Structure 1
């Protein structure tokens, strides 16, 4: 395909822009996943604490986790990570670990620019976020809930990386097949001026086959998009991955846009062939 051909339909540019956006997003998701893994390791070493005078947990009302810790106040204070520090030191350690890992990924400011409170609410939910930012201490009940939430954040990004790899394969496959169609369009286009009726009729038939090829490329792409929606559900909602990935590009659905552009070239070629047939007929 020549540079002029690409300028005519723009299909290659749409896919190249999509590949670049996909590359950036994949790098960001992997950075976040690794940051959460590091954060998990830091959290596992943070001591839990209890602040009530009798040693019982002040977080007994925290839903979704175990009830008050059993045992003496000293045992509750010690937690899993060793001797307890000053009241609130556990929460401070969690906050510092989060800021130095999750909030320190290279794209954090550009992509999120959230405060600590807003970020943990978005990642872990409002209840756990309240416990981590408004409590008097890092109580034993918080630790398993936080570890579970971090595991969910890691798994969420694992799933997204898998879908991004499927998406990359879909872009490459569509790009390769569309490139073959564009080459044939150029070949047929060059044959029109000198073709007799038989040759032109063969060109018309071949152009029809290329239209069917484009329809198959579009249908396959629609199946991939549907698979994204089935397999990637965040916060209970199906994610339209192309919209998420390509909102900053000229084509939110780059493969379908590219197919449409090539289809327009095929329509023009078919009309040209029909006119040529009319002249020689």
Structure 2
């Protein structure tokens, strides 16, 4: 069945709402999993020895937080490296698998090995320390706990952005609804075809054209506000070099910018309606 004009305008917004609900649930799951992992790591005892096998960079707590569970990493696959059974590194690995790698969407979204996952999440240096050495040294623990805290904070910042985006989508939808209703009302008033529209008379048609211009201005304001919200997301939150916040959230949708797509669809309908009105006005002269 062909989509109605209302469906054309509202589908992207409904899809955006659904995508945001999924993303918020997954981000909360990841944040809570990281918090649980942090608690378990805190209770893992450290082991004596020289903590230099992974290189000095691995001991730097300011490096390595990857900001995403899973994803591509520069380290090789592996499930545990040189750690001996019963060591602190094994305890860390088991804790990670039981928390971070056990979020409901892990297999669908990431499906990485342990080593690739910790490399993507915390950086290759910490991943090397956790998977390619033989003891869980105090320096490793400090660096790991710091990286976990950074990852938690990144999820919290992303959740703040999601809440702002959800509010923006709801606001845009509530403002587009009356515009859409007004367009439908004008369409009904004009009837079927240019001849029916011309029968309304020049004055009535001119009034409809004025209403159309006001609705175009409403759409322009909605679009401008959306652009400001998207720009604010980009200032506050860095997703990656090759993807912005909206594209990340809506990557599985037909439109990467669903609100702007909805505004554009409605704008196209307004333009067609204005053209029809002007053709009908020409017939009345």
* TM-score bucket of the superposed structures, by smaller chain: 0.7 to 0.9
CA separation of 1:141 and 1:134: change in aligned 2, threshold 3 A: same
Structure 1 residue 105 and structure 2 residue 103: aligned?
A: yes
CA deviation after TM superposition for structure 1 residue 199, in Å = 1.2
Q: Which runs of 5+ in 2 are unaligned?
A: 61-83, 191-196
SS of 1:63 mapped into structure 2? helix
Structure 1 residue 170 and structure 2 residue 168: aligned?
A: yes
CA deviation after TM superposition for structure 1 residue 178, in Å = 1.0
**Cα distance in 2, alignment partners of residues 276 and 60 from structure 1:** 78
The residue aligned with 1:145 is 143
Contact 2:6 2:180 in 1 (8 A): no
Q: Aligned pair count? A: 253
Q: Which runs of 5+ in 1 are unaligned?
A: 67-85
CA separation of 1:50 and 1:62: change in aligned 2, threshold 3 A: farther
Which residue of 192, 196, 205 corresponds with 1:200?
205
Encode CA deviations 1:30-70: one digit per residue, 9 max, x unaligned.
0000000000000000000024xxxx54559433648xxxx
The residue aligned with 1:181 is 179
Which residue of 175, 187, 190 corresponds with 2:188?
190
Structure 1 residue 266 and structure 2 residue 264: aligned?
A: no
**Cα distance in 1, alignment partners of residues 217 and 224 from structure 2:** 10
The residue aligned with 1:218 is 223
CA deviation after TM superposition for structure 1 residue 190, in Å = 1.7
Which residue of 202, 206, 209 corresponds with 2:214?
209
Tell me the TM-score normalised to structure 1 length.
0.85
**Cα distance in 1, alignment partners of residues 219 and 168 from structure 2:** 14
**Cα distance in 1, alignment partners of residues 20 and 219 from structure 2:** 23
Contact 1:204 1:273 in 2 (8 A): yes
The residue aligned with 1:254 is 258
Spell out the pairing of 1:43-54 with structure 2 (5 A cutoff): 43-51=41-49
Contact 1:35 1:101 in 2 (8 A): yes
**Cα distance in 2, alignment partners of residues 256 and 191 from structure 1:** 28
Tell me the TM-score normalised to structure 2 length.
0.84
User: What is the RMSD computed on CA atoms of the aligned residues?
Assistant: 1.9
Contact 1:88 1:138 in 2 (8 A): no
Contact 1:59 1:139 in 2 (8 A): no
CA deviation after TM superposition for structure 1 residue 239, in Å = 5.2
Structure 1 residue 242 and structure 2 residue 246: aligned?
A: yes
Encode CA deviations 1:227-255: one digit per residue, 9 max, x unaligned.
111100246x4851111011111111101
Larger Rg: 1
Encode CA deviations 1:202-224: one digit per residue, 9 max, x unaligned.
11011011111111111111111
**Cα distance in 2, alignment partners of residues 26 and 96 from structure 1:** 26
**Cα distance in 2, alignment partners of residues 274 and 261 from structure 1:** 20
The residue aligned with 1:69 is none
**Cα distance in 2, alignment partners of residues 187 and 147 from structure 1:** 60
Moved over 4 A (4+): 56-61
Encode CA deviations 1:154-212: one digit per residue, 9 max, x unaligned.
00000000000111111111111111111110111122235221111011011011111
